[in-house]
């Protein structure tokens, strides 16, 4: 505690004594604000007894773990999550410790990108149901997805089968490989929303050919939030000796993950989204039986050491080990609150928002009804409205952050730090916005 206080007092005092220009004076004021937030005692997690007695009071108490200012509403968790205070503190405290450059291991430095870092890999592997040697810690899902596409040997004419709802970071590594090597990327158009798991499986089966070698599918689709039947799809792929790659960027922290039950060959995720870990950490699971089929993309010390299994894929050079301290704190926080409780709350808020957004004029809900297809992402299209104008208006006028995945589609994310009252406030303002554009909406509707 003393170290944190000394650090932030030093930043603020140095700025004032140096007579810094106004922008840096403001930075010093912000340092004082950070000091106040980080040096105060972290509120204890609300009790099980409180949850049993009053769930909404429990969630209101839990919200004290975040640094949101009063009146601000963040509905863009699908892009990046807000780390709770214990995670932020673990990250910053690690920085302060590591920058002293002291360690009994004289070969150890405050960086990662070399070495196994099993103290961080192990809990992350347990989180997804993997063995430690099957997990590589990377810097985000984009990096892991590129490792898989770049690292597999495919021949000209071989096919990668995927969907029309993949994130650019998932499909573009394969487009790059197609341009360089002549492989073929085929996309299945998913129904929005799907009617059943079998409907999705049938679409893939119709698109399969004798040259299909790889299945790429998201666990939770970035555009519509559809939770895909990955277990069934990976079993289908295995039946035809295809490799299966699951983009789980949105799944970690939102819904349960068990890679052994899913049966995939590769699983990639960004814990900085729904698990609320620090920005700049990712995970790449490589099923041990296929580990030797994946070439390293970055070559540095240890790149071809097959004995260390997936760990050779995290030999990419220096980066910040304090991110991993924050990642471990995020896992601890997730377990303390309870994974089943978190998933249930995310889905409860999603269902509440979805039910109440439907009556708003011009709203076209593109997320599924059935819980098996839903998590924390709600996709709502307003075909007659400009999403960017709406996005800017909400933040400038009401300090509400939203985002979308097309010029007219909103992607609204619900997480445990939201309340029904906040969602009601947003819905009221969204209704007001739509009513203010009523003439435009009605004037452009067909028929």
Signed CA dihedral, 110, 115, 119, 124: sign only: positive
Residue 381 within any structural domain of the chain: yes
**Distance in angstroms (rounded) separating the CA atoms of residues 357 and 427:** 7
If one counts the domains in the chain, the total is 3
Q: Does residue 169 sit in the same domain as residue 285?
A: yes
**Distance in angstroms (rounded) separating the CA atoms of residues 297 and 350:** 38
Q: Does residue 344 sit in the same domain as residue 321?
A: no
Residue 280 within any structural domain of the chain: yes
Q: Does residue 328 sit in the same domain as residue 374?
A: no
- Cβ contacts of 295-299, under 8 Å, gap ≥ 24: 295/150, 295/151, 295/152, 295/153, 296/147, 296/151, 297/146, 297/147, 297/150, 297/151
Residue 372 within any structural domain of the chain: yes
Q: Does residue 151 sit in the same domain as residue 285?
A: yes
Q: Does residue 314 sit in the same domain as residue 368?
A: no
Q: What is the DSSP string of 301-350?
A: TTTT-GGGGGGGGG----B-THHHHHHHHHHHHHHHH-HHHHHHHHHHHH
Q: Does residue 302 sit in the same domain as residue 353?
A: no
**Distance in angstroms (rounded) separating the CA atoms of residues 177 and 175:** 5
Q: Does residue 270 sit in the same domain as residue 362?
A: no
**CATH number reported for the structural domain that contains residue 438 in this entry:** 3.90.1150.10
**Which CA distances in Å does 226 have to 83, 204, 221, 343, 426?**
24, 16, 5, 15, 23
Q: Does residue 176 sit in the same domain as residue 310?
A: yes
Q: Does residue 440 sit in the same domain as residue 383?
A: yes
Angle, nearest 10°, between helix axes 322-337 and 85-98?
Answer: 150
Residue 321 within any structural domain of the chain: yes
Which residue segment(s) compose the domain that 28 sits in?
Answer: 1-40
Q: Does residue 316 sit in the same domain as residue 411?
A: no
Q: Does residue 295 sit in the same domain as residue 324?
A: yes
pLDDT tens track, the chain, 447 positions = 445 555 555 445 444 444 555 555 555 655 565 556 555 678 899 999 999 999 999 999 999 999 999 999 999 999 999 999 999 999 999 999 988 988 888 877 777 888 789 999 999 999 999 999 999 999 999 999 999 999 999 999 999 999 999 999 999 999 999 999 999 999 999 998 899 999 999 999 999 999 999 999 999 999 999 999 999 999 999 999 999 999 999 999 999 999 999 999 999 999 999 999 999 999 999 999 999 999 999 998 888 899 989 999 998 888 889 999 999 999 999 999 999 999 999 999 999 999 999 999 999 999 988 888 999 999 999 999 999 999 999 999 999 999 999 999 999 999 999 999 999 999 999 999 999 887 777 765 554
Residue 144 within any structural domain of the chain: yes
Residue 81 within any structural domain of the chain: no
């Amino acid at each position: 505690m003393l170290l944190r206080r000394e650090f932030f007092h030093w930043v603020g005092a140095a700025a004032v004594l140096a007579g810094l220009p106004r922008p840096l004076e403001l930075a010093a004021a912000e340092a004082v604000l950070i000091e106040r937030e980080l040096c105060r005692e972290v509120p204890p997690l609300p009790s099980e007894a409180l949850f049993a007695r009053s769930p909404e009071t429990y969630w209101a108490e839990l919200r004290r773990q975040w640094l949101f200012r009063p009146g601000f509403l963040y509905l863009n968790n699908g892009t990046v999550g807000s780390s709770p205070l214990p995670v932020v503190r673990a990250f910053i405290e690690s920085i302060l410790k590591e920058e002293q450059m002291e360690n009994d291991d004289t070969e150890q430095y405050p960086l990662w990108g070399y070495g196994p870092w099993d103290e961080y890999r192990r809990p992350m592997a347990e989180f997804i149901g993997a063995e430690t040697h099957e997990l590589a810690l990377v810097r985000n899902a984009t990096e892991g997805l590129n490792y898989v596409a770049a690292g597999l040997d495919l021949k000209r004419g071989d096919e990668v089968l995927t969907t029309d709802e993949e994130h650019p970071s998932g499909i573009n590594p394969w487009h790059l490989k197609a341009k360089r090597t002549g492989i073929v990327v085929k996309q299945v158009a998913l129904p929005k929303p799907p009617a059943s798991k079998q409907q999705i499986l049938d679409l893939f089966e119709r698109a399969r050919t004798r040259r299909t070698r790889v299945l790429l599918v998201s666990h939770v689709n970035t555009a519509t939030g559809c939770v895909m039947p990955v277990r069934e799809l990976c079993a289908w792929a295995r039946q035809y000796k295809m490799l299966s790659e699951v983009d789980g960027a949105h799944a970690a922290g939102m819904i349960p993950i068990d890679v052994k039950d899913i049966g995939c060959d590769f699983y990639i995720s960004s814990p900085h989204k729904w698990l609320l870990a620090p920005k700049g950490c990712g995970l790449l699971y490589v099923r041990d039986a296929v580990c030797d089929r994946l070439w390293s993309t970055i070559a540095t010390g240890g790149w071809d050491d097959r004995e260390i299994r997936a760990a050779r894929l995290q030999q990419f050079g220096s980066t910040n080990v304090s991110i991993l301290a924050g990642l471990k704190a995020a896992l601890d926080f997730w377990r303390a609150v309870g994974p089943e409780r978190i998933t249930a709350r995310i889905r409860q808020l999603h269902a509440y928002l979805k039910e109440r957004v439907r009556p708003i004029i011009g709203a076209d809900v593109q997320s599924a009804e059935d819980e098996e297809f839903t998590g924390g992402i709600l996709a709502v299209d307003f075909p007659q409205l400009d999403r960017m104008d709406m996005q800017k208006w909400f933040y400038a006028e009401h300090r509400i952050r939203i985002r979308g995945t097309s010029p007219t589609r909103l992607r609204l994310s619900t997480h445990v730090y939201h309340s029904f009252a906040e969602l009601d406030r947003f819905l009221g303002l969204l209704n007001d916005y739509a009513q203010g554009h009523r003439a435009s909406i009605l004037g452009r509707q067909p028929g």
